[in-house]
Structure 1
Amino acid sequence: MSATATILDAYCIRAATGTDASVNEAVGALAGKIPLSSIGTSLQDFVASVPQAVAAIDAARGDPDNLYITTSTEGDLDNAVWPGNGSTGTVGSGQTQPLGMTVPVDFVQNVSLWDYDDVSSDDLLGSIRIEESERGQGPIAKLATSAVEGSVYYVTYRVD
């Protein structure tokens, strides 16, 4: 008999950054396109301040993630196993999103967390692997992260 994983919740340690990597790269490239007389500081100070400015803008916005979950590594709201019906859950840094969903586990099951974007492609927030061999071990928390998006989540589940 195959195992079933009950995914209890997702705790967001850090929501995805509100700026895409391509935006960060574009902002970083501004130093080559701005006359030095217009920046009011040295080139070195300007270039050093760009990553700090992007981080400050992102922190000030504090945008939550529009979370949905798939059991594949492909992001598509139509394939979401949670919450379903083309909707998402909103979760920000320091918040827990109760899930209460079950998925079959035959050997190994992928669970991917996604941030829905209506303007660009959806962002992978991180994935975990649930293993059938974890059956009966009680609640387990695994880290799901994305270096590209800067997101950090713990997903808690049990395998029965």
Structure 2
Amino acid sequence: MPQATVSMIYCVQQATGTDAGVNEAIAGLPELLLPGEFGGMPLQAIRALPGVIAAVDAARADPDDLYITTSTGGGRDNAIWPSAGGVVQIQAGQSETPDVTVAFDHSQNLSLWDYDSVSDDDLLGSVTMFASEQGQGEIAKLAKSPIENSYYYVVYRVD
């Protein structure tokens, strides 16, 4: 039975720092304000909202509270790394060395999650490891989430 050993997780870009509640509040501003309150420029104010959201996101460059599961369902209790219930904070440019080994038959999913105490955990990305990769040495795959705007390299080998 093949075994995959995850040797490194490298964060290219952590998830966006702006949560859905902030985005919804900013996006809801045009509904709350009367056109006269924009100083006669409602379209320019509405067009500026994505820039406001991006500025808030840049200012809140919070680290991800990373954990890894072997399923497509989150939950820190299902974590294979760092440990059940645990997280590791990580930001762009940082890496971790989990050195965790997973036995599998034909293929195995590996999902990276960001723990969120307020709402559901966020999927940062997934990779699939295959038995056919056995003996190929270290393999690096990109785990990404267009929803969270997160990018991580997962480095592993299959023995």
TM interval, short-chain normalised: over 0.9
The CA RMSD over aligned residues, in Å, is 1.5
Q: Partners in 1 of 2:117 and 2:157 — Cα distance? A: 33
> Pairwise mapping of residues 51-130 of structure 1 onto structure 2 (< 5 A)?
51-130=50-129
Q: Partners in 2 of 1:111 and 1:21 — Cα distance? A: 25
Q: Unpaired runs of 5+ in structure 1?
A: none
Partner of 1:3: 2
Tell me the CA shift for residue 40 of structure 1.
4.0
Q: Is the 8 A contact 1:20 1:149 kept in 2?
A: no
Answer with 52-61 or 16-25: which moved more: 16-25
Answer with 18-27 or 2-11: which moved more: 18-27
Letter in 1 for 2:82: P
Secondary structure class of the residue paired with 2:6? strand
Aligned length: 159
Letter in 2 for 1:133: S
Tell me the CA shift for residue 36 of structure 1.
2.4
Tell me the CA shift for residue 21 of structure 1.
4.2
Letter in 2 for 1:129: T
**Shift >4 Å, 4+ stretches:** none
Letter in 2 for 1:51: P
Q: Partners in 1 of 2:62 and 2:38 — Cα distance? A: 29
Tell me the CA shift for residue 97 of structure 1.
1.7
Letter in 2 for 1:11: Y
Q: Is the 8 A contact 1:9 1:99 kept in 2?
A: yes
Q: Is the 8 A contact 1:15 1:64 kept in 2?
A: yes
Q: Partners in 2 of 1:40 and 1:103 — Cα distance? A: 60
Q: Partners in 2 of 1:137 and 1:40 — Cα distance? A: 64
Tell me the CA shift for residue 22 of structure 1.
5.6
Q: What TM-score do you get using the length of structure 1 for normalisation?
A: 0.93
Secondary structure class of the residue paired with 1:5? strand
Partner of 1:34: 33
Secondary structure class of the residue paired with 2:99? strand
Letter in 2 for 1:119: V
Letter in 2 for 1:52: G
Letter in 1 for 2:4: A
Secondary structure class of the residue paired with 2:66? strand
Q: Is the 8 A contact 2:18 2:60 kept in 1?
A: no
Q: Unpaired runs of 5+ in structure 2?
A: none
